[in-house]
Amino acid sequence: MKILEISYYALFVALLLLSIVFLLTPVPTHDGIKKYTISLRLLAFSFFLLAIYCILKLFCQIEIFSFPFLVVSVTQAHLLSISHINMLNPHRVTARYVTRQIAPLIIFCVLYVIVSLFEDHVYLNYDNLAHAWIENGELRFNVILRLLFMAYYLSLFFYYIKNFFKESRDCQNNIDDFSSYNNIVDEGLKSIRLSFLFVAAIGTTSLLISACMSQDLLTVLNFFMLILYCIVGLMYLHYPKVFYTIYDSYKTEDDESLETLKTNEKEARWNDWKNVILQEKLYCISGITLRLIAIRLGTNVKTLSICLHTFETCNFNAFINQLRIEEAKNIIETNNELTMAEVGVMVGYSDPSNFCRYFKEYTYMTPTEWKRNRP
């Protein structure tokens, strides 16, 4: 058996196993987790489709820009990218959104089938690529469609990269508005971004495979693709750890008629709420969220967020960290026996490195330096 054949069989087995894992993976019960479940099922279908293609490819001659490969690649690009965007914004990916994204792929497929009824298939390689699209002065539409399809794939590649990083920025802003620093969520967002970079690598490798005529290079690319798929699959399964905060941060609620109040009345209400936060030291609770404070104050997330941005001119994360650092400075001044790690835990930081990072961000000194140089 040739190494190229082994690479296809290895891809088939790995993709089939990942597909089964995605189908059978238990997910937590949570309002909105269905979105994540749908993503898993989409990826299971996507991986199964590619697994079948790997087997079929064993019996087909290598051809650059082959239409079946382009269809599978574009489908993969859609499903992998949409599933990652769904991780960052569970409310954006609707049936209408998916339909709108998939529509060009369906149109290309229908057009190619229609053209294939009237034209013979043209085998493409580097020798005939420059002139294969025209014969005896007549256009070969199946070749033109494949070239247009490749151009569509390239535009799709950059479109999803742009959209993903826009959603990533919006998601980070929402998290900052919704919760104080949470190590699990922060690492989770980094993991999602890293996973998408691997998806981009999959897209790049797919392009190389589609244009590859060398069996040796194709073998290497197949094994590289195998590694990328396994990494993306494993990283995607860890997503539920950060789902709850991301999902909750996108929830919207009615603004309990705050707009009907005059500015001074709004400010008076915010001052009352702020006094409760300061007196009860709610900011010292590790992983505190805007929703938990809103529940304690008897209001809702939207109203509290509006007050924060209006009267404190900052997001929730910045507001909480400012209070925590001031509290930490007070503790350091009154108790010399505590370690900096203990002080960090007392004000809500479970990770000493995060405490040190935020302390330096607000005071331009580490806690130890501030303790040594304080007045």
Based on the fold, state whether residues 278 and 237 are members of the same structural domain: no
Based on the fold, state whether residues 237 and 315 are members of the same structural domain: no
- Cα(168)–Cα(174) distance, rounded to whole angstroms? 10
Q: Which residues contact 270 (CB under 8 A, 6 or more apart)?
A: 307, 310, 311
Asked, for residue 354, whether it belongs to a domain, the answer is yes
Asked, for residue 114, whether it belongs to a domain, the answer is yes
Boundary residue ending a domain (217, 249, 281): 249
Say how many domains are in the chain.
2
Based on the fold, state whether residues 318 and 187 are members of the same structural domain: no
Based on the fold, state whether residues 287 and 242 are members of the same structural domain: no
pLDDT (tens, 9 = 90+) of the chain, 375 residues, equals 588 888 889 999 999 998 998 888 776 666 556 667 777 787 788 888 888 888 888 877 778 888 888 888 888 888 888 888 888 887 787 888 888 988 999 999 999 999 988 888 888 888 888 888 887 778 888 889 988 999 999 999 999 999 999 999 988 888 888 877 666 677 778 888 888 999 999 989 988 888 888 888 888 998 999 999 888 888 877 666 666 667 666 665 555 555 555 667 778 888 999 999 999 999 999 888 888 898 898 888 888 888 888 899 888 999 999 999 999 999 988 888 888 989 999 999 888 888 898 999 888 988 888 888 876
User: What pTM was computed for the model?
Assistant: 0.80
Based on the fold, state whether residues 277 and 174 are members of the same structural domain: no
- Cα(291)–Cα(299) distance, rounded to whole angstroms? 9
So what's the pLDDT on residue 97? 87
Based on the fold, state whether residues 92 and 215 are members of the same structural domain: yes
Asked, for residue 257, whether it belongs to a domain, the answer is no
- Cα(112)–Cα(131) distance, rounded to whole angstroms? 19
3-state SS record for 84-121:
HHHHHCCCCCCHHHHHHHHHHHHHHHHHHHHHHHHCCC
Asked, for residue 255, whether it belongs to a domain, the answer is no
Asked, for residue 256, whether it belongs to a domain, the answer is no
So what's the pLDDT on residue 329? 92
- Cα(190)–Cα(135) distance, rounded to whole angstroms? 52
Based on the fold, state whether residues 236 and 286 are members of the same structural domain: no
So what's the pLDDT on residue 114? 93
